[in-house]
Structure 1
Amino acid sequence: MKPPLFPLLTLLLTLTIPFTNAQPPTNCAASRKLLPPHHFILTEQPDNPNLTTLSTIFTSLNRRVPISILFTTTNRALSNPTTTSSYTRWTFQSGDNTTPKWIPQGISSTADALDKGTYEGHDGWVISWHRDDDKSVRVSFVNRKDNTYRHALLVYPHMEDDFTEVPIHAGGVVWYGDTLWVVDTRRGVRVFDLGNVWEVDVGGGIGKVGEGRYEAREYRFVVPQVRWYKWTGAFPFRFSYISLDRTATPDTLMVGEYQPNTTVPIRMVQYPLDYTTRRLRMDGRVATATWAYCVGIERMQGAVQADGKVYISRSNGASRGDMFGWVPGKIAHNNEGFFPRSPEDLSYDKRGKKLYGLTEHEGQRYIISTDTSKVKSD
């Protein structure tokens, strides 16, 4: 869920002016839209020291479980798929579809996790949800074999034997190897360890509630934070969405800004990944962007790049959402009304060249799959 909307602006996106080092990293009003990427800096913070001891505790309790358990113990179901001329959609179970407490935001899949497209034999999606007060985050693992799913809570190990909730908006998510990347709006990107999924007692507490007993706000499974990438640029940047490009070499992470209008900068930035470590490529602990651009499309909720083309979702208040198709160097084409109301993040699956997305409006919360061939670009 994003800030209140402003009147719709008619915008075009073009990459026809060459980059210059003199271009200020915050200036999106100038004709030169390609920005100096070396200004966009993330600094990797040390791994959470409490994760190791907590992992040992849960291993000794026989409650450290493989990620596959989240696909084989599903307890909720999507609706049967509905197909339109533009996409196929699934609706979340009734309580999740209408609750004002939890709002879906990000989407990724096993096609992001591993190049082969499946993980531990499962084909699935992962969805991030922010709580209405942003005091915690849950993620849903969807088994595409039978369209069922289960929620898990993201947690932060704040003591050697204890964890707490993660108070962020969770605007977007990427599954990469055994890591789960979640944007932290003003501070950067948090990374969670899917190699340390823990089963807890079902109860209303959070963290340690007794000797050898842990709870997580009625959720049965938790995924702990292992590290985070802190925004250390000299100017503010808004981490509204995140996506992975497996068609690039190396694998590339993209983040971008939601803004209600173009009176402020609206930028999109890419960082190279190291597939051998599942971390950003760094000089020491500093990760520097390889590409940054002033996009100038207001209300962007998500974007993903694949095979050199960028796909962008835009919300339009109570109206249907838009899908932009953009080949850098050309003008972005607006496929107006492509989405249902309130589209959010996007993800790409090169198996069949599919785009995945989702919508957040109460009563109209869908997972969406479409062919990239249905998205026009100029």
Structure 2
Amino acid sequence: MLGTLTAATAAGGVLAPAHAASAPTEVDPAAYRLTADYTEYTARVEALLEQAGRASVSQVMDDANHERTPATVIDTQVHGFRFATSDENDPDAFPQGIATSRDAVGTAGDGRYDGRQVIAVSFYNNSPKSSRINLIDWDANHPNAYRRILLVEPTGTAEEPSFQDVKIHAGGIAWYGDLLYVADSAAKPGGMRVFDMSRILTTDTGGTKDQIGRVGDTFHAHNYAYVLPQVGTITSAVDEGTEPLVWSTISLDRVTRSIVMTEYRCEDCTDYPMGTTRALRFDFQEGSPTFAASTTASDALEVPLHYLNGVGSHNGRWWFNSSRHKTLDHWPGTGELTTYPWVSWGQSLSYWEDEDGPDLLWSLTEGEGFRAVFAVEQGDYS
């Protein structure tokens, strides 16, 4: 079965690392910067909310219409589920990034956002070209269900707003407060697109699959009932002579209040960038889920790994998932990387902090026919 892996264990059931690898190299973070714009779409988003209608996360989850079912992805997991058949077998839609409501709000109230404990998984779609999130209920008080929400970019004017598809890979997501950051590897230079989970739009589910945006006095979104409009853009820049960043995947570090990113680079290929893989950290403004107008990286690493689809960080520690090599590497901030066996088709990572139980690492698999989400105790991979 695609995605399934039996992890190596030592005597007594303790997970045994495969080997220790060489250490990442710290480089000057001053060569890497972000420019943030949270105002470009404000007028059009507010007009869309008024004209199209608005829904909360709780309302969306009350309307969840796809069922998740239990799944075993890796023998060390503590949780695991797979998507409905329509998502598992879709040759034109691929899961990529993962974040949770516990990223958004922390451990208070068992990590509930708008009263709901949920997991968000980003997908990119090939037909039509677009991106979405699946918002999945993870709460014993509610059905095991999820809803698809289309990501859109506002267009038109404040008087007559509309929207269009967001045609990106959506390779990683980070959710902090109300804001959902989505990695954008298509933009040149790369960066992130920003969405607001408190500003979900309702749309007309009639019409045809190809309809997107304003159609007369109604709004359509390829028959989706809900869309999430972009509210900001984060653009990266590098010093002269430094290779531009490849924004392959991201995740949130709540302890240092930052987003970390890394690159998918190959050892020998023609369809993806080659060369040294980098991982960086960018800090939010004090007391805010937003970046300053200009932000310089606080950490920059050259990582002796390739084919990275997942990155995680928590209080100075790092994890890197190599999908090609089926490994998860942990770096405590000094010394060598420790490499563990991991899953096939592994994608992004998300750190789940828990006051009453073990902290978790959430991840997911992409392979058609077995698209599953799972969590392991982070202590088994540290």
The answer to whether 1:14 aligns with 2:20 is no
CA drift of 1:66 comes to 1.4
- What is the aligned partner in structure 2 of residue 55 from structure 1? 46
Offset from partner CA, 1:111-142 (integer Å, 9 cap, x none): 11112221011111000001237831011100
DSSP-derived class of the 1:70 partner: helix
Which amino acid letter does the alignment assign opposite residue 95 of structure 1?
A: S
- What is the aligned partner in structure 1 of residue 234 from structure 2? 229
CA drift of 1:309 comes to 2.1
Aligned CA distance change for structure 1 residues 46 and 370 (closer, same or farther; 3 Å) = closer
Instruction: Give the distance between the partners of 1:133 and 1:58, measured in 2 at CA.
Output: 27
- What is the aligned partner in structure 1 of residue 133 from structure 2? 139
The answer to whether 1:126 aligns with 2:120 is yes
Instruction: Give the distance between the partners of 1:256 and 1:307, measured in 2 at CA.
Output: 17
Which amino acid letter does the alignment assign opposite residue 220 of structure 1?
A: A
5+ residue gaps in structure 2? Answer: 1-18, 269-273
DSSP-derived class of the 1:52 partner: helix
- What is the aligned partner in structure 1 of residue 67 from structure 2? 77
Instruction: Give the distance between the partners of 1:253 and 1:57, measured in 2 at CA.
Output: 29
CA drift of 1:42 comes to 1.1
Which amino acid letter does the alignment assign opposite residue 352 of structure 2?
A: D
- What is the aligned partner in structure 2 of residue 40 from structure 1? 32
- What is the aligned partner in structure 1 of residue 224 from structure 2? 219
Aligned CA distance change for structure 1 residues 133 and 217 (closer, same or farther; 3 Å) = closer
Offset from partner CA, 1:165-187 (integer Å, 9 cap, x none): 11111111111111110011142
CA drift of 1:193 comes to 1.8
Offset from partner CA, 1:14-73 (integer Å, 9 cap, x none): 15xxxxxxxxxxxxxxxxx21110111111135224x42442353255x11212222211
The answer to whether 1:266 aligns with 2:277 is yes
Offset from partner CA, 1:301-357 (integer Å, 9 cap, x none): 10101233212211127xxx2111211211111112x22x11000001111301100
Which amino acid letter does the alignment assign opposite residue 248 of structure 2?
A: S
Instruction: Give the distance between the partners of 1:67 and 1:239, measured in 2 at CA.
Output: 27
Aligned CA distance change for structure 1 residues 69 and 134 (closer, same or farther; 3 Å) = same
Which 4+ residue blocks in structure 1 deviate beyond 4 angstroms? none
CA drift of 1:232 comes to 1.9
Aligned CA distance change for structure 1 residues 89 and 275 (closer, same or farther; 3 Å) = farther
Q: Aligned ranges for residues 324-363 of structure 1 at < 5 Å? A: 324-336=329-341, 338-339=342-343, 341-351=344-354, 352-363=358-369
Cα pair 1:11 1:297 within 8 Å, conserved: no
Which amino acid letter does the alignment assign opposite residue 93 of structure 2?
A: W
CA RMSD in angstroms, aligned pairs only: 2.0
Cα pair 1:268 1:293 within 8 Å, conserved: yes
The answer to whether 1:65 aligns with 2:55 is yes
Aligned CA distance change for structure 1 residues 279 and 46 (closer, same or farther; 3 Å) = closer
Aligned CA distance change for structure 1 residues 143 and 345 (closer, same or farther; 3 Å) = same
CA drift of 1:274 comes to 2.7
Cα pair 2:282 2:296 within 8 Å, conserved: yes
Instruction: Give the distance between the partners of 1:58 and 1:84, measured in 2 at CA.
Output: 42
Worse-matched range after superposition: 81-90 or 157-166: 81-90
Offset from partner CA, 1:197-223 (integer Å, 9 cap, x none): 110001331000112x00001110000
CA drift of 1:373 comes to 1.9
Aligned CA distance change for structure 1 residues 217 and 310 (closer, same or farther; 3 Å) = same
5+ residue gaps in structure 1? Answer: 1-9, 16-32
CA drift of 1:286 comes to 1.0
Offset from partner CA, 1:52-95 (integer Å, 9 cap, x none): 2442353255x112122222110001112437531132111111
- What is the aligned partner in structure 2 of residue 290 from structure 1? 298
Aligned CA distance change for structure 1 residues 258 and 133 (closer, same or farther; 3 Å) = farther
Aligned CA distance change for structure 1 residues 11 and 85 (closer, same or farther; 3 Å) = closer
CA drift of 1:110 comes to 0.3
DSSP-derived class of the 2:181 partner: strand
DSSP-derived class of the 1:274 partner: coil
Cα pair 2:131 2:166 within 8 Å, conserved: yes
What is the TM-score with the length of structure 1 in the denominator? 0.84
Instruction: Give the distance between the partners of 1:217 and 1:226, measured in 2 at CA.
Output: 21
Which amino acid letter does the alignment assign opposite residue 332 of structure 2?
A: V
Percent sequence identity over aligned pairs:
27
Q: How many residues align?
A: 337
Cα pair 1:13 1:297 within 8 Å, conserved: no
Q: Aligned ranges for residues 186-335 of structure 1 at < 5 Å? A: 186=187, 187-202=190-205, 203=207, 204=209, 205-211=211-217, 213-234=218-239, 235-248=243-256, 251-261=257-267, 264-274=275-285, 276-280=287-291, 282=292, 285-316=293-324, 321-335=326-340
Instruction: Give the distance between the partners of 2:167 and 2:30, measured in 1 at CA.
Output: 29
Offset from partner CA, 1:243-293 (integer Å, 9 cap, x none): 111122xx111011011228502000001113633212x3xx211100000
Which amino acid letter does the alignment assign opposite residue 45 of structure 1?
A: D
Aligned CA distance change for structure 1 residues 316 and 84 (closer, same or farther; 3 Å) = closer
DSSP-derived class of the 2:348 partner: strand
- What is the aligned partner in structure 2 of residue 24 from structure 1? none
Which amino acid letter does the alignment assign opposite residue 350 of structure 1?
A: E
Q: 1:105 aligns with which of 86, 96, 106?
A: 96
